[in-house]
Amino acid sequence: MSKKELGPQPLLFPNPSVLVGTVVDGRPNFATYAWCGITGGEPPTISVGIRHGRYTLKGILQNMEFSVNIPSADLMKETDYCGIYSGAKTDKVKDCGFEVLYGGLASAPLIEQCPVNLECEVLHILNLGSHAMVVGKIVQAHVSEECLTDGEPDIMKIKPLIYSRGPTARYNAVGEVLGQCFSIGKELKK
């Protein structure tokens, strides 16, 4: 296939769309991030790329804790809202009707309506230019019981949002199951 060079661009498909929770000046706040990925397994760790100066980064630096909340597609408007407006200017918890819970960490607020919540302690913050990469250790995962199958979180029940750049930035749903990992590739084994 004919390829076009687009220059240095942060192109990854798919990206998740998560609500990062922090406590800023004593108040819970949530902001939407797509630049997020698991970075290790033992201990489980996760990274979020946050632009310098953001209200969320202020909260992380104040408390060195944060949460990652995975919204279902039925929270698309709230998720988008938390990506447009700053907690410095409005109370997004109130605006979105979020019910806020806490687990073991005092500064990692969790959104009750999100089917998956991760409590994180900051391990590293790297300055990567425009963004700080915050690496957190996941100390607890909370999952809605209705989103479990045989005790494991099931993406078809969680129904997370995909964030996609493109001609216009869009949210996509997760589609059908295509195959089983660590299995279907064995068909190519000579």
Facing residues of 127 across strands?
132
| C-beta closer to a second copy: residue 61 or 139 | 139
Cα–Cα dist 179/185, whole Å: 9
Question: In whole angstroms, how close is the CB of 67 to a second copy at the nearest point?
Answer: 12
Min dist. Cβ of residue 160 to a second copy (A): 4
> Least CB distance from residue 98 to a second copy, whole Å?
12
Degrees (nearest 5) of the Cα angle 118, 147, 173? 85
Q: Which is nearer to a second copy, 18 or 23 (CB)?
A: 18
β-bridge mates for residue 16, sequence order:
162
> Looking at beta carbons only, is 26 or 182 nearer to a second copy?
182
Closer by beta carbon to a second copy, 25 or else 38: 38
DSSP 51-93: ETT-HHHHHHHHHSEEEEEE-BGGGHHHHHHHHHS-TTTS-HH
Q: Residue 59 CB, nearest distance to a second copy (Å)?
A: 19
For every residue of 9-51, DSSP letters joined together read ----SSEE-EEEEEEETTEEEEEEES-EEEEEETTEEEEEEEE
Q: Among residues 26 and 167, whose Cβ is nearest to a second copy?
A: 167
CB of 58 to a second copy, least distance (A): 18
CA distance 84 to 9: 22
Cβ neighbours around 35 below 10 Å, total:
17
